[in-house]
Structure 1
């Protein structure tokens, strides 16, 4: 799982109260959720966005999903987080939508060829 600084996580949960937490901080159902959370913390630390801006985009992504039929049970929270992360980096010019799609497809390809329980590694052939 991604290594997350507890003080940084606390600042994020104070700024974005919808983050699923327990008494010790954010909780994640899957390792990728912690990784997406850690990526957002790293981009925040680099000054890419302020937490209120993040909360607005995340809220927009959640509303969009709800309008499309998301049951809003909490199980899809980090999918919305990931969508907000992708949107943020595209809007800020860190990358573009085609590069995001290329990596998404490469990860799908890598996951398809990787035996269950084995870490997924991207290889050049995953980008074809």
Structure 2
């Protein structure tokens, strides 16, 4: 089997994984919730506004910082947004694990087994400093 065939096989497995299904289901539920949509719309408007301020060398005022906090609080309090974000984080963790496995295979490094995921980057000095 060629590398590209293996890549297609991996892509298919990711497309069919429970983590991605959970993201899609959570996104659908979130888009059907009017409150979640209002919060997200407000977030996007403020995000653009604050981005433009910062790009032009400005800094956010205390009131604008409070706006950011308020919107973030509303987002974290909305069940549908919270579930969507959690599902996204779990899917991202899966993709990070896949990337780590690929990177370790390419580098010939199997990881040192320390850290939360047995990651080779658990020590500044690499795996030799872990043991």
- Higher CA-based Rg: 2
Which protein has greater RCO, CA pairs closer than 8 Å, 6+ apart? 2
TM-score w.r.t. the length of structure 1 is: 0.28
TM-score w.r.t. the length of structure 2 is: 0.27
